[in-house]
Amino acid sequence: MRSDVQVVNEALTLFAEGERGVFLRGKGQDIAFKAMIADAARYPAIPGTSALFHNITQDIWNISTIVERLHWTRARACHDGELRDKWMSYAAADIQAVHVEIRSVLDYVAQIVPAFCPKPGQLPDASFRKLLKWVGDNPNRIDGVLRSVLLEQETWFMEVRGTRDLLLHLGGFAIVFGGPEDGILFQIFKAGWRKVVDKPFLMYNENVAYFERYAALYLARLLMFLEDLATVLEGMFDVPVADPKTENYALGHAVIRSWVRDLHLLLLGTSDGVA
């Protein structure tokens, strides 16, 4: 599995800047269009996946908007007394929402992958967790490269899934600490006030983490997974000669890029960030 610093470095290359601002590019952004117009002679279910790819794009936009709102609210809370009093509650709700959107993206992937397999009915499509378990248990019933790409996501996915399930189903909660001028300082707690986030390079102190670093890490993992997945899947159907060059603009892409860039610089300077 690629290290955190490798993935963050690669994710940075997916961001570019145009006249309208910062956008995402790459095969992960192009594939919705390619699936829509592909020759589906080999895998008849492929055209139906284009809507699912577009759903993933919508979730990425939602994440980007949440990140922009966090950034915007924090900046104004530094100078607005009324907003400052509400800042912690607003930010905690947004942090939970990011986890929900990431899980949604991955569950759409779980519905897409079976369409690219010789016997789609054999694969579960209810959730990404079930898909990973099936892929792990059935090494010879799915394309080997696709299997490797999927299983590479298991560690970080289980981390995000565990936090998301904790927040939504198991009584966990997010708390934001400090003032907005300190950054987005947070922690996820289990019952008994046991902390969840504890990777050394994400931490502000032994108990509190920087959400900017946390989000940069897991969004980099998500974006690179979508890029790797698209690279494998497009080889399974006929791609048009004139490939599209999608420029995916969204409100918070500039903020996400800055967070990923800052994390990359941090990881380059500390062995703690190298998996």
pLDDT digits (tens, 9 = 90+) for 141-188: 888 999 999 999 999 999 999 999 999 998 999 999 999 999 999 999
pLDDT digits (tens, 9 = 90+) for 187-226: 999 988 999 999 999 999 999 999 999 999 999 999 999 9
The whole-number pLDDT of residue 1 equals 78
- Give the sign of the dihedral formed by CA 250, CA 252, CA 257, CA 258: positive
Q: Check whether 248 has a pLDDT greater than 70.
A: yes
Average pLDDT over residues 219-246: 84
DSSP readout, the chain? ---HHHHHHHHHTTEEEETTEEEE-SHHHHHHHHHHHSB-SS-TTGGGGHHHHHHHHHHHHHHHHHHHHHHHHHHHHTT-HHHHHHHHHHHHHHHHHHHHHHHHHHHHHHHHGGGGSSSGGGS--S-HHHHHHHHHH-TTSS-HHHHHHHHTTHHHHHHHHHHHHHHHHSS-EEEEES-GGG--EEEEEETTTEE----GGGBSSSS-EEHHHHHHHHHHHHHHHHHHHHHHHHTTSBPPSS-----EE-TTHHHHHHHHHHHHHHHHT-GGG--
pLDDT digits (tens, 9 = 90+) for 84-117: 999 999 999 999 999 999 999 999 999 999 888 7
The whole-number pLDDT of residue 272 equals 45
> In the chain, what are the domain boundaries?
4-171+216-273
Q: How confident is the model at residue 238 (pLDDT cuts 50, 70, 90)?
A: low
Bigger pLDDT: 237 vs 269: 269
